[in-house]
Copies of this chain bind each other. A is one copy, B any other.
């Protein structure tokens, strides 16, 4: 691994004092990092989140293991028993790997326009640009080469990594993370067809991103045509996602990479949208809707649960056979109808 250093370290006892759980093992064992069962060392803590990895418990060299109540006795290594080992791991890892933030202050090469307000505890990195009347909150980080447009607001403790763009008149909440290449507030695709040509409809809405939102690399969120595009609190967007104008994504919804949302669609709260799923425009997905990867959603979804719609790959020969059958389905249906008619005739004959 390139780098896995953690300057932080803590003792097992400190961990359970902070995060709860039952400790079976020495309180003073020093833990420096989290690691998978098969590579963890004596000063690292590992975790068991799926029973298929249970066999690794017998060979792990981990100093300690986080596991669920059912696995309490599956090892005699030092261990922490928690009802949700993966969440527990996330907390321990967060403790051992605090974000390494740059020092507060505006880099000499950054350009902050007149009228912009940058909190004293915020950091504006090299070659970053903050335009007129933008507001950068306490502890916020504007990464190298990032651009915050006029009158836009970046909330407290929000991090824009390198080369992020937030257009003018947008608002990003607190404790958000925007990864490199994210573009917030580009124009939505709004055009009127005028005698075979396209006339631009000015996109005069903005984008409102709530608190605790994470947005992955190269994801784009367009500004509203009229009214705003809204990403509610706690939403997690992976990389290369496209969010069209006036879309609303409800709180705590998670979206995997390469998905797309066409304009004016409303996604409920706590939905899960799979990778490369495409959601058509002007529809509504209810709270708790789950869309499988690679699935096109054309109509509104009113009931929570899993929705599916893709064909997994087959060996070429098999696929081509299926495809040919599919394209001849109407012939098959016709044949079956014909057989049914003839069979009925025979049955009548036989009765008489």
Q: Which residues of B contact A207 (CB under 8 A)?
A: 2
Assuming the contacts A147-B145, A196-B252, A278-B276, asked whether A333 and B325 have C-beta atoms less than 8 A apart, the reply is yes
8 tightest Cβ-Cβ pairs between the two chains A and B:
A2-B206, A3-B169, A308-B319, A186-B217, A111-B126, A298-B312, A306-B316, A309-B313
Can you name 15 A-B residue pairings with CB atoms under 8 Å?
Answer: A1-B206, A35-B226, A109-B109, A109-B127, A111-B126, A181-B183, A181-B220, A187-B216, A191-B236, A198-B254, A222-B239, A240-B240, A244-B257, A309-B313, A325-B329
Complex Cα–Cα for A149 and B236 (A): 24
Query: Which parts of A314-352 form the interface with B (CB within 8 Å)?
Result: 314-316, 319-323, 325-330, 332-333, 335-336, 339-340, 342-343, 346-347, 349-350
Complex Cα–Cα for A186 and B127 (A): 20
Complex Cα–Cα for A181 and B293 (A): 25
Residue ID in chain B nearest A112 by CB atoms = B126
- Check A127 against B151 for contact (C-beta < 8 Å): no
- Check A339 against B343 for contact (C-beta < 8 Å): yes
Using an 8 Å CB-CB cutoff, how does the interface string of A134-149 with B read, 1 for contact, 0 for none?
0000000001110101
CB of A118 within 8 Å of the partner chain: no
Interface size class of A (residues with CB under 8 A): 35 or more
- Check A258 against B257 for contact (C-beta < 8 Å): no
Chain A contact residues, CB within 8 Å of chain B: 1-4, 6, 33-36, 39, 84, 86-87, 89-91, 93-94, 96-97, 100, 107, 109, 111, 125-127, 129, 131, 143-145, 147, 149-151, 161-163, 165, 167-171, 177, 179-181, 183, 186-187, 189, 191-194, 196-202, 204-208, 214, 216-218, 220, 222, 224, 226-228, 234, 236, 238-240, 242, 244, 252, 254, 256-258, 260, 262, 270, 275-276, 278, 280, 291-299, 301, 303, 305-316, 319-323, 325-330, 332-333, 335-336, 339-340, 342-343, 346-347, 349-350
- Check B278 against A296 for contact (C-beta < 8 Å): no
Query: For the complex formed by this chain, how many copies does it contain in all?
Result: 3
- Check B346 against A170 for contact (C-beta < 8 Å): no
- Check A84 against B194 for contact (C-beta < 8 Å): yes
Candidates B1, B109, B329; contact of A329 at CB < 8 Å = B329
- Check A257 against B262 for contact (C-beta < 8 Å): yes
